[in-house]
Each structure stands twice: as structure tokens, then as C-alpha cells.
Structure 1
Amino acid sequence: MADGSEGALALVAGTGALPRLIAEDRRRRGLPLLIVRFEGTQAPWAEGMDVLDLPFEKPGRLFKALKAKGCDRICFAGAMARPKLDPLRLDLKGLALIAKALTLLRKGDDGMLRGFASIFEDEGYRMVGAHELLQDLLAPAGVLGAVQPGEADREDAARAAAVVEALGAVDVGQAAVVASGVCLGVEAIAGTDALLSEVARVPARLRAGEAKGVLYKAPKPGQDWRLDLPAIGPDTVARAAEAGLAGIALAADGVLVLGREETVAAADAAGLFLWARPPETAPEAP
């Protein structure tokens, strides 16, 4: 979707490369942008840009600033920790929203983000996804690097895809690692890096067969693609290599590859395959 709106974009920035890539693209194209950094977010790349720093408990101040800056769209990008709200810091708007916010914080990631998105939509703002702003980030079907997955790797990717689909159906995670048909780990609230660190510690006696293993990532079934699409980058490749895996498989056209040239080069250098798996090959959920 082309970004042809005249209004400014409010970028709610989390950690990682994605919000920086969006901000740099908009600055390069001369498009209006307000970066929102909630308390506790580390985004040093935003210094010198138009930035609003504020605590979660001040939504009234946030909406006032969005209106003053002419924002009409909101994008959530990057990882953010779940806030611990302090009722004593709430402004009037926060007091009106606190009951809903506390309910949302008890949901899974997709349910929580959908709920917070609805708060912005109720105020008249349109949510946009990172893949709408940077359209070349989604990995197209096919092997992206020089290393090809073997037959055992493809079978492990199929098994991992079934695991991820089952996890996603209950709003738990977007990734799993499978080796020789055995699930070595699944993604939960701590994210993919924690999953790969866990897999790296799995003892050899628990690894069946000869296959090294595959990390598979995909959106959750029915996920709102404007919010928290799965992503990989060079750091993911490095951690997959440290975990001793054969490669990384992605749901084609459903996973963001941040810094594609660097990510593919890192995979080639590490001897890992990087495969965007076409949807027609995905098995039905068990």
C-alpha cells in the first residue's frame, strides 16, 4: 500500500532495528513523523528527531501531542516490555482507560496489542503496519541465500510450522525449533533470542537423529498484521548459529527480514540456510 496520506505518522518505537528503519526511511523521503518513546524504551537513534517521551500513564498528554503534530496514523514497531502501571501517575484520560488497560495486560501479545490499537482507533487514528511502510521487508518465497535446506531440514520445518500454528492459535508465540522431528523449544513471552539461548543449552542426549535443527517463524493464525509481525535479522542468524542449527525457515511473505543483505550474508557466512517457505507447503495444524 502506498503511503500517500498528508498527515503525520506517529511511530510508537520499541527496541530493535525496525523502528529505526521506518524513521530513517521517512526522514529520507521528507515525510512527517513523530516518534513516541514510552518510559523505559531505549531508542538512542531517535535523538535529533521529533520525539515525545512520556510514561504509559499519560495518554491524555499523548493524544494532545498527536493532535498538535497533525498525526492521523499510528505504527507500533519494535519490542516493548509490558508496562507496570502506577495508578498514582494517571492523568484524567488514563483514569478513564485504566480498567481496560489492566484487562488487556492479562491477554496474550496479539490480544493485548489489538486492544491497545482499538484505544487509538477510538480516538480517530488509523493503525498501519511496518510492512505497509517498508514494503520490501517481507521475505518472498524461496531460498534467500547460498545454502539450500536438505530434505531432513524441510521435514523439520514442516513439523515446526505445525507447532507454531498450534501455539499461535492460543496467542502464545511465533517460533519453534525442531530437530529430527523433535521440538527442542518454543517461543513464549521472552521472545526468539531467549528461545535460541534455551535451545543452545539442550543436552546432546535429548537430541534425536542427525539433523541439526531448524528455527521456524510465522505470524499467528488470524493475527492482525498491523501489529507485531515476526521478524529476523543478523542477530537472529548469529544466535541460530550459536544454537548449532542448520538454518532458519520463515513463512513466505509473512515475516520481516531486517537488513536483508546483511542477514543473508550472515547466514551464508555461518553456513546456515535461510528459506522463506511457501504457504502451499505448510501442513494442516495437528
Structure 2
Amino acid sequence: MTNDHSKKIGLIAGNGQFPLIFAENARRAGLSVIAVAHTGETPPELSEKVDEILWIRVGQIGKLISFFKKAGVTDAVMAGGIRKTRLFEMRPDFRALTLLARLKEKKDDALLRAFAGELEREEIRIRASTLYLSSILAVDGEMTRPLTKAEREDIAWGWPLAKQIGGLDIGQCIVVRDGVVLAVEAIEGTDATIRRGGTLGKEKAVVIKICKPQQDLRFDIPAIGPGTIQAMIEVSASVLAVEAGKTLLLEKEKLLQEAASAGIAVVGIKGS
């Protein structure tokens, strides 16, 4: 399709399928996608799905801003995470060092807000990462099979706990069974948490993934994909409960089909 090149969206790409899916949807909506990708994080195939691309190392903020300004980008989206372990290997440029020096705390949210503020000072506005992606957001209710009474009880019991853990900025996912917390997500990510908790629960574990109470949807939104379902299948977990309207289902059709085939209940819960 021919894009209207007067309409541009900047894409700050992290890891996983999210940047690829965002680029496809934005171009389908008629936009020209100008991407900044991170070496060692972003899938190389993103190059084929955007109009312009610059590859940088984590922490090269000055380079990112210069590229967007030269391309005439005034609106941008952050899609895909940067592994937290990668942050310990970052080589910040002068702009990033100046930003870090101003911060009193180095938590994810504080770093991302400061980064967004730096771009907005340059008249580059960070938009919600759900832009153009409403068709793959989790809906309210059961998306594969009906829940059992015991599964509903586990979700109702675990949901507020997951919210509290998210509120402490520890992680977004917990694994529970029969009123017992089997695993809490920290730096290892959702799929590793599922494998750890599911192994301890033997089978029929309930996975709960929430949107943190303080989550800024401009640059951080929960996402699950077929890999999440695969991790659940490996440990015979039975339920995946996610926040309706605030969770992306990457490769949605494939994800729900694989979950249904494995007898896994995927359910969207309206957040508090």
C-alpha cells in the first residue's frame, strides 16, 4: 500500500514481536513508520516493515533524538521492552548521563518518564503504545473455555495480590494454585515465572498478569503471545487471567487457538 508520508509516527523499538506488530498496523493505517531499534534487542526483520530505521545501543538518547528530528517526527510510540539485565550493560551518551544524573531514583517507571520528558522537550510527544492496536487488546470475559468455580476463586484471590506486587514495581505476573502463591515475577520475565511456578504447582496452576496500578500506558503495557501459552503447556498450567483493555494479545488468533487446543482458559478481567 502507499503510505501518506505527511503522516509519520516514530517507533522506539525494543524486543519481541510487539514492534513488528505495531509497525504493520501503523502502516496499514496509512502512516510512514520511522524506527529507532536497539542492537541485540530488536528483531532484525523490523527493517523490512518500516520506512526508515536507525540502529543504536541502549542509552544513545542523543542519537535517537537527532534522527527523529531530522526525519520530522513529532509523535512516537515505545513498543517492546528492553531486558532489565541489558540496562546494566548500557553505554549512555552525554544526553543520557545528564538525564540519569538528575534522577533521584532509577526504577523503570522513573527512567521511562524522564526519557519521555526529554523527548517532549524536543517537541517529540510519546503516545500510548496501544495506538492502532485496539483489535488485539484483551476483551472482558472468557476467550477460550469457561472457568471452573475453583479457577474463579483462585483469580479472585490472586488478583489483588498481583496488583500489590505490581504497585511495588516488582513484576506484573504471579502464579497461584489453591490459595497459594507459587511464583512472583521479578527480573526473569513472565514466561520464566510461569515455568517456575507451574513446576512447583505440578499442574493446574493459575497465571495472573496485571497492569501495574501506576503503569503509564505510553511506554509500558502488558503483552502475551504464543510463547506464553507454550510455557503454560510445558508445565500443564490451566488458566491465564489478564487485564481486559490493557493487555496486548500478540499473534492473537494463534495464541487463542493454541490455548483452546491445550484446554487452557484465557480470560480478560476488568481492572480495578
- TM-score (ref. length: structure 1): 0.84
Corresponding residue to 2:67 among 51, 65, 68: 65
Aligned residues of 1:214 and 1:248 also touching (Cα < 8 A): yes
User: Equivalent of 2:242, from 247, 250, 265?
Assistant: 250
Contact 1:37/1:51 (CA < 8 Å) preserved in 2? yes
Q: 2:215 aligns with which of 189, 202, 223?
A: 223
Contact 1:131 1:137 in 2 (8 A): no
Instruction: Measure, in 1, the Cα distance between the counterparts of 2:177 and 2:250.
Output: 25
CA contact (8 A) 2:19 2:46 kept: no
In structure 2, the partner of 1:141 is 140
Structure 1 residue aligned with 2:200: 202
Q: Distance in 2 between matches of 1:5 and 1:265?
A: 37
Determine whether 1:22 maps to 2:22: yes
SS in 2 for 1:184: strand
5+ residue gaps, structure 1: 205-210
Q: What is the identity percentage for the equivalent residue pairs of Structure 1 and Structure 2? A: 32
- The CA deviation string for residues 60-87 of structure 1, in whole angstroms up to 9 with x for no partner, is 2221111111111121111212433336
Aligned to 1:81: 83
Query: Paired residue for 2:163?
Result: 165
2:75 partner letter: R
What secondary structure, in the 3-state scheme, does the structure 2 residue paired with 1:60 have? helix
Q: Which residue of 1 aligns with 2:264?
A: 272
Which deviates further from its counterpart, 18-27 or 49-58? 49-58
Once the two structures are superposed, residues 185-219 of structure 1 have per-residue CA deviations (whole angstroms, 9 ceiling, x without a partner) of 11112210110121233265xxxxxx822111110
Once the two structures are TM-superposed, the CA of residue 40 in structure 1 deviates from its matched residue by 2.3
Q: Which residue of 1 aligns with 2:150?
A: 152
**Which amino acid is 1:215 matched to?**
V
Call closer, same or farther: CA 1:115–1:42 in 2, change over 3 Å. Answer: same
* TM-score, normalised by the number of residues in structure 2: 0.88
Provide the secondary structure at the position in 1 that maps to 2:245: coil
- On the 8 A contact 2:182/2:198 being kept in 1, the answer is no
Does the 8 Å CA contact 1:110/1:227 hold for their aligned counterparts?
no
Structure 2 CA distance, aligned partners of 1:225 and 1:57?
Answer: 21
1:212 maps to 204
SS state at 1:215 partner: strand
Give secondary structure in 2 for the equivalent of 1:201.
helix
SS at match of 1:116: helix
Change (3 A) 1:42 1:63: closer
Amino acid at match of 1:272: I
CA contact (8 A) 2:221 2:247 kept: yes
Residues of 1 paired with 2:184 and 2:121: CA distance? 35
Change (3 A) 1:112 1:72: same
Measure the CA separation in 2 of the matches of 1:265 and 1:35.
Answer: 31
Segment drifting more, 25-34 vs 218-227: 25-34
1:171-190 → structure 2 map (5 Å cutoff): 171-190=169-188
Moved more, 113-122 or 223-232: 113-122
Deviation at 1:117, TM superposition (A): 1.8
The Cα offsets for residues 92-145 of structure 1, whole Å up to 9 and x where unpaired, read as x345334147x55x31x3333222222222222111122122112221111111
Letter in 2 for 1:202: L
Match of 1:128?
A: 127
